[in-house]
Structures are given as C-alpha cells and as structure tokens.
Amino acid sequence: MVSAQPTSAPSVPAEPPPDVRSGPLASLRSARARAVGPALIVILLIALVALPTLFDLIFGFSGAFQLHRVSLIAIFALAAFAQNILTGYAAQPSLGNAAFFGLGGYLLAWLAGDLGQPWWLAIVIAMLASALIGVIVGGPALRISGAYLAIVTLGLALIAGSLFDLWDTTAGRQSYGINNLPDLLQDDHSLYYLVLLITVVIFALGWVLLRSRVGRAWVAIRDSESAALAFGVNATYYKLLAFIVSAALTGLAGALYAIWAQTADSSMSSVDETILFLAMIVVGGLGSILGSALGALFVGFLPLLLGQLPSPINVAGLSVQVSTLTTGIYGLLLLLALIFFPAGLASIREWLTALLARVGRPGSTAQQGGGAA
C-alpha cells in the first residue's frame, strides 16, 4: 500500500499592506493640505487689517509714517502684478509699463488737481486711457517678439518720460503737485485701507482671470506658442489682451502712486521704474500672483530696512559708512535671493510643502527617529 504523501497547502499570497496614499487617512491629510492655503490667506488679511493699530502701538507718533511706507509697497505689488501678467504669464518681454505708470499719475494729477474732478473718476479715466494707449501701441508692437519687443516698448517709456518732462517744463515746474485732495486721501490710515482694498480686489479678480480660459490661453502661449496655435488659440488676440490688462492695471498703480505722493513727475516713466518692475517679478517669481506680492515686499521694503542701519559702524577700529554701501548691500541681497531661489521667492511655498510632506510621510526620518526616509 502506497502511503499518501502529504501535500503542501497551496500558498496564499500575503495580503498587501494598506496603501498609505489612499483611504480615510490620506483623504483627511489631503483635505487638511487644501485648507492650509485659504487659512493662511484669512490670517494674512486679518493681520493686514490690524496693521495700523499694531503700528500705532509699536511706533507711536511715527506709526502713520511707517504705514505710509506699507501703502507704497501695496502699490508696487499692483504694478508688479500688471508686469507679471504681460511678461510672466503671456511671455511678452515688455519694458514699457513705466509709461503707463506715469500716464496714470499725470492724468490723476491733471483731472483731480487742475480740473477738480472726483478722485475716483480720475482713477477710472486713468485706467481707461492707459488701456486705450495699450491698444494703440500694443497692436503694432506685438507684430514683433523677443528682444525687439523689449526695445520697442522701452522706447515707449523713454518717449513718455520726455513728454511728461516737457509738460512740466512748459508749465514752469519740476513736478505736478496735487494740493486739493480730500481729507480721506491725506490721512495715512484711510489711504492705507483704500490701497489695501483695491489691491486685494485686483489680486482676487486676477486669480479668477488667470484660472479662466483667458489665463489658460496665456499660459499655453508662454509654454509653446506653436502648440497653442495648433490647438486653435488666437495668439495675437490674447497677447493684445494681456497688453491691455497690464496697461490698465499699471495706470491704476500710477494713479494711486500720485495720490500717495500727492505729486507726479517724469521719473515715474524712467528706466529706473522699468528696472524696478522687472526686478520685482524676477525676484518674486515669474508667472505667480504670490511672486508679485513677495517681489514688491522684497524690492520695496528692503531699501527702507537698509536705510535704518546705523551709520557709521565701528568694526575693529575702522569706521564704515553704511549709508555709502546701501546700494551694494541691496544688490548683494538680490543676487543671493536669485541664487538660492532661482524660480523666485514664490518657490518658498513649494519648498515648504515638500518639506512638510517629507516630514509627515510614514517611515520618514522624523518619525523613525533616524535613518533614511
């Protein structure tokens, strides 16, 4: 009798470990990550609203002066966002936005100052006039591209600066002073809230626009104009639209700057302003709303901080005049910002997100108490 050989039980594949990337825990983690952005925005808005009170407590009588500086940074953020729409999103290397900045300032000074029109009407007219000039100049200018477009638009800024200088010279003045603004616009606190409100509204509308069909068309043209044309995108129309929107927003920023400074002068359309706008979007981040704000904060606030350094500083028996090195220090910090954040300061958000994801990932170094993630 042949004894039956014991047969081994069929192997059952081991149950795969639960996928940590799915399931209720992953959904909760994803929802929490999505809620971080809106929560930070709400906290930031609350802080900005409370900023005047905080400045009064910290700086006392000079709180209004410090708040006046913050209003300027918000105006710069508008100008940077306008430049970013044209250069960062639509990939049009324009150097002529300073012309619209000066146009907005001079129209505000002329309408609200000389003609006595309401300031809000002067702002609207300044935006419409800037948009109209954007159509007139942008149409022919967009027939070219690249460095040629940059040179043509730079010529626009130089012509505008010369015309504004001629306007002042003919009138026998060095700048266009505004002496009859209402009390609302002469109080630093109310002016801050007005500029903050306009900036927040424009950024919110821009966020919606850039996620609409128009924004997607701009990004498609930026990434590959040939591919965009193949998919039926009217590149000329959307480029001109970017030029118009950028011109109108820059005119708005120029009008607000004239209110802020209570004057307008030809330097608003100088090459220095052109470089300032470009520096803000390059340092902040091309094609980023957050980058426009961070670039304005860095470029606009950093010189003010450097101006607060004591001068001279005695180091090892040497007396160093910091005031003479401010420009060099400023340039060095700009260089370091671009070296460590080549995609702009807006990339800090991605860097922090990746860091938090790496720390919170199961099996990471932080959770294991050592070892490789």
Q: What is the pLDDT of residue 133?
A: 93
Termini Cα distance of the chain? 60
Q: What is the pLDDT of residue 74?
A: 94
Q: What is the pLDDT of residue 44?
A: 85
* Cα–Cα dist 314/239, whole Å: 54
pLDDT(362) > 60: no
pLDDT(373) > 50: no
* Cα–Cα dist 119/21, whole Å: 55
Q: If you average pLDDT over every residue of the chain, what do you get?
A: 82
* Cα–Cα dist 258/268, whole Å: 9
* Cα–Cα dist 208/298, whole Å: 25
pLDDT(73) > 90: yes
pLDDT(317) > 80: no
pLDDT(195) > 90: yes
pLDDT level of residue 125 (50, 70, 90 thresholds): very high
Query: Which residues have a Cβ under 8 Å from the Cβ of 323 and sit 6 or more positions away?
Result: 311
The string of DSSP codes covering 94-162 is: ---HHHHHHHHHHHHIIIIIIS---HHHHHHHHHHHHHHHHHHHHHHHTTS-THHHHHHHHHHHHHHHH
pLDDT(32) > 70: no
How confident is the model over 327-349, as a mean pLDDT?
A: 77
* Cα–Cα dist 27/24, whole Å: 5
What are the sequence ranges of the domains in the chain? 59-269
What amino acid occupies position 108?
L
Question: Could you report the per-residue pLDDT of 134-173, keeping only the tens digit for each?
Answer: 998 888 877 887 788 888 888 899 999 999 999 988 888 8
The owner of tokens 């424009």 is: 202
pLDDT(11) > 60: no
pLDDT(60) > 90: no
pLDDT level of residue 315 (50, 70, 90 thresholds): low
Q: What is the pLDDT of residue 272?
A: 84
Give the global pTM. Answer: 0.82
Question: Could you report the per-residue pLDDT of 241-293, keeping only the tens digit for each?
Answer: 999 999 999 999 999 999 999 999 988 998 888 888 988 998 888 888 988 99
At residue 81's C-alpha, the angle toward residues 75 and 83, to 5°, is: 105
Per DSSP, what are the bridge partners of residue 86?
none
* Cα–Cα dist 361/156, whole Å: 53
SS3 percent helix, strand, coil of the chain, rounded to 5, is: 75, 5, 25
